[in-house]
Amino acid sequence: MRRADRLMQLVQFLRDGTLHRASDLAAATQVSLRTIYRDMETLAASGVPIEGERGIGYRVTAAITLPPLNLTMTEMEALHLGLHAVGQSTDAELSAAARALSSKLDAVMPEDRSRAPSGYGFAIYPFADAARGFQHLPSLRQAVRTRQKLELTLQDETRTVRPLQIDYWGRLWTCVVWCERKAGFDEIRVDQITRMRILPSLFVDEKGKSLRDFNALRQGS
């Protein structure tokens, strides 16, 4: 893996922010000039903010490059929430940066239309609404973990459900439940929950009512 090593080395050289001529880089890495040009192309295409000016040399423009990150849904939510908070800050520069970063994140969030309840993408949805349901999340999570039934009220309608799985799409939380009254699965938007009560009764997986069954259904349809 000699090439990858050299690419990393080149980034190290360029990180100091000063100008570098391709010929210098070639000498430093013991490689031909042509290869340096090819490397620069690869790096630029890989997202490293490199700029080459004819008759001048190379320099890196932006400061920090983050490698690919794997986030849990909760971490993603923390990220959005935190940036939203900073976006409200009085420091104009800082709040602008927070909003800019939020946009960047929105732009690269995986979007899966087949799973989202059709009609509302997270971009359309005002953050405030999502935040309203946010208060219920901790106890909802607990109920999913401890497998306790819930009594919850959505739009003046109260029902008893078995909470199975919490999902997060960018800005919206939903919960997959088995509804006792309708005797069927449902996907509930957490922000639409107006009241919620954890019931003392526990539940166990029953044939046709488990998360596995829900996933099977979702696949099949």
Do 14 and 60 touch, CB atoms closer than 8 A? yes
Would you say 7 or 28 has its CB closer to a copy of itself? 7
Cα 51–Cα 56–Cα 60 angle in degrees, nearest 5: 25
Q: Kindly tell me which residue out of 2, 53, 55, 119 binds a copy of itself, with binding defined by CB under 8 A.
A: 119
- 132 is an interface residue for a copy of itself by CB under 8 A: yes
Q: Could you tell me the smallest distance in angstroms from the CB atom of residue 132 to a copy of itself?
A: 6
Q: Could you tell me the smallest distance in angstroms from the CB atom of residue 15 to a copy of itself?
A: 7
Q: Could you tell me the smallest distance in angstroms from the CB atom of residue 9 to DNA?
A: 11
Would you say 26 or 101 has its CB closer to a copy of itself? 101
- Only one of the segments 26-34, 93-101, 149-157, 181-189 lies at the binding site for a copy of itself (rule: CB under 8 A); that segment is 93-101
Q: Could you tell me the smallest distance in angstroms from the CB atom of residue 200 to a copy of itself?
A: 20
- Burial (CB count <10 Å: 0-12, 13-18, 19+), residue 163: buried
Give dist(CA 200, CA 192) in Å, integer.
23
Partner from a copy of itself, DNA, none binding residue 46, C-beta < 5-8 Å depending on class = a copy of itself
- 37 is an interface residue for a copy of itself by CB under 8 A: no
Both structure tokens of 121: 């993408």
Do 39 and 7 touch, CB atoms closer than 8 A? yes
The pair phi, psi for residue 213, each rounded to 5°, is -65, -40
Give dist(CA 52, CA 94) in Å, integer.
30
Q: Could you tell me the smallest distance in angstroms from the CB atom of residue 56 to a copy of itself?
A: 13
Both structure tokens of 83: 């940036």
- 56 is an interface residue for a copy of itself by CB under 8 A: no
Binding positions for DNA, rule: CB under 7 A: 1-4, 6, 20-23, 30-35, 37-41, 52-58, 125-126
- 15 is an interface residue for a copy of itself by CB under 8 A: yes
Give dist(CA 204, CA 178) in Å, integer.
12
Would you say 25 or 193 has its CB closer to DNA? 25
DSSP state of 163: E
CA neighbor of 173 nearest in space, from 211, 117, 217: 117
